Structure 1
């Protein structure tokens, strides 16, 4: 008797997804709740678990197909798992027995490839395996239930520098294709993921709908850097999380948004919606690109609470475990391009939000203090905003308030 595998509920207002990759093939045994497919939605990648133990039967849809919530995507032959798991065991023993007489080395490695975790790798890990050219069956996974993560692949690649360096010299035949393609003009066409399609659509809608304008300022990071260096060890010991810069900026932004509520507001039809709470969307890096989970009621959190939330988002983003609820909503966005080396940018607002703060890299620059030219660690700030709702005076006032709080962190304690 076969059991249908259906597309699970993906979140509010999400009715369809794209089948990104099959993690199991027909005839392979699966356990209960073992991932068999990866779905790409408008916001995150979702793994589809097996509802029963058994053997993969028919795959109803192909990779790249669009599927609706509740649709059948595969069938699992229940009750066949025991038989199929026993049969290969006999076959493997027979094969090993025959092969030992001829080539003992090959039978030893074959079972590892047959039973390794490579068959259930997530899409991001599979791409990393291909990129770094490592054998996933020889990697010890540090993820949940011993699954291999992208970081495991990178670490394995770094620990094997010699084979990668000597391979071309040891195999002249392998060097020939590289030389022949050196002057080539190759192209590769890759279908856009559903996430990338949605990002492209929403960003273009933002440009077409909002009257976007960007205002800039710079901030002296001396005080924050000194505070961080002074207390980072005690902070980590007490709270179990590292003290970064985002905690200061989120806290300062919440104070500034309280003073300039229009930056935290949005336009809905012919009405302006003002809020007495701040849900901050923070951009974090994920295997499929940047995602923007939301810190709920950020105005009520301490710097430690903010850092813990961001750290949890970053960890789950790398593991592909962010949920739809994590991404939902948001009243204001902070994007930190500085971690990638960005000096300055004009970020695009995320509708229906009306403002986005762009942070950039910190670099030593000459500035004037008390009539003297001194070197200070400076950062450019950028606030992109919807000019339909936010006036220039309000935008500049917001940035100045945030600048003052960062340059004098004591203001964060006394709410000034």
Structure 2
């Protein structure tokens, strides 16, 4: 037999590390080639890792939820081939001499390994090995322990009286842990500054309401306000390249492509897929991308590549009725814009009178290492100006 090593495979462009969030096999399990052996999480996306070999799982080499570099070893598998020096069998275990090398092996190492005979017998009798007390060396389970195992006594031994719980504890999954890691990194490393302006979107509301029914009939998707705001941001970024940047290792990178991350929420998680080259798309094109990416999230088919390369985030918080919010920047981007809900308000006119208008708050969080209030204010002023320009059907198509 020969021992083969499985490494953490590449999980997409620019992904340099990931964490194993769930083992699908354990030491002693038989696996086939290409059988999923683990789940790995990077950038909020969970991917199954297949086995490169057929054989018996020997050792799990990494801890759960610990970030490791791509191509680092994660598991060893025993495959047919050269005879391996170490064979695990209870008869051989009993005959081991108490030499120095045997004493140096940690007890936990022995307890995690079972002989082929023990594994086969436990499977035939449907016995959970975690319930069996081993009488062999270092507490290892022997064939005799399996033959003498009595499930009822094991159950009685494991029964404990616990008080009724007043709270519920939920184990966090890999996606939630990835979100938590990125948010903490953003708050700890990025000095956030915040600015809010209000914008009159009365003409935009009229335009969208006038064409939403026809748009749905022709395109097969709904026309929301979100694509208009994304388009207005993309246009403004052309005039304000400082907003389209990131700070990494004391260097500022300014991006030529305008790739806008959008926020898509499920019942349990928040994902930020990317609309690439958003400045080159019409409102209709952006609407189709928003619909495509949202469906990918909800169908659980979103890939890590679809979440990479974003240069700024536009979050539609207004869809929840929010009127003001302070977004946490999507690290390592320089800014996130929160689009709040549209509300009717009475505002003064240029002629000195009053009118009812559709008003919205635009809430911008910026990386104060890259941007200051002047840059943020000018950017938001251009976003407002762009929103005022939406008043014709041609602005949609």
TM class, shorter-length: 0.5 to 0.7
CA distance change for structure 1 residues 411 and 234 in 2, over 3 Å: closer, same or farther?
closer
CA-CA distance at 1:358 after TM superposition: 0.6
Aligned counterpart for 1:393 among listed residues 365, 374, 380 = 374
Partner of 1:45: 46
Aligned counterpart for 1:245 among listed residues 200, 225, 229 = 225
Aligned counterpart for 1:377 among listed residues 342, 358, 367 = 358
In 2, Cα distance between equivalents of 1:306 and 1:324: 20
Counterpart secondary structure, 2:233: helix
Counterpart secondary structure, 2:329: coil
CA distance change for structure 1 residues 66 and 332 in 2, over 3 Å: closer, same or farther?
closer
1:352 to 2:332 alignment: yes
In 2, Cα distance between equivalents of 1:384 and 1:413: 32
Question: Normalising by the residue count of structure 1, what TM-score does the alignment of the two structures yield?
Answer: 0.61
* CA RMSD of superposed structures (Å): 4.0
Deviations along 1:339-397, whole A, 9 cap, x unmatched? 22222111122232211111112222332334344333322111111223223122111
In 2, Cα distance between equivalents of 1:28 and 1:244: 51
Structure 1 range deviating more: 393-402 or 56-65: 56-65
In 2, Cα distance between equivalents of 1:196 and 1:276: 31
Contact 1:264-1:331 within 8 A present in 2 as well:
yes
In 1, Cα distance between equivalents of 2:76 and 2:216: 47
In 2, Cα distance between equivalents of 1:368 and 1:323: 48
Counterpart secondary structure, 1:311: helix
Structure 1 gaps, min length 5 = 78-179
Contact 2:346-2:355 within 8 A present in 1 as well:
yes
Counterpart secondary structure, 1:381: strand
Counterpart secondary structure, 2:10: coil
Partner of 1:216: 196
In our comparison, the structure showing a higher alpha carbon Rg is 2
Please state which structure has a larger fraction of its residues in helix.
1
Partner of 1:87: none
Deviations along 1:148-195, whole A, 9 cap, x unmatched? xxxxxxxxxxxxxxxxxxxxxxxxxxxxxxxx98xx7324152x4343
1:407 to 2:366 alignment: no
CA-CA distance at 1:313 after TM superposition: 0.8
Partner of 2:88: none
Aligned counterpart for 2:343 among listed residues 356, 363, 368 = 363
CA distance change for structure 1 residues 207 and 66 in 2, over 3 Å: closer, same or farther?
closer
Contact 1:20-1:40 within 8 A present in 2 as well:
no
In 2, Cα distance between equivalents of 1:245 and 1:304: 11
Question: Normalising by the residue count of structure 2, what TM-score does the alignment of the two structures yield?
Answer: 0.63
CA distance change for structure 1 residues 38 and 274 in 2, over 3 Å: closer, same or farther?
closer
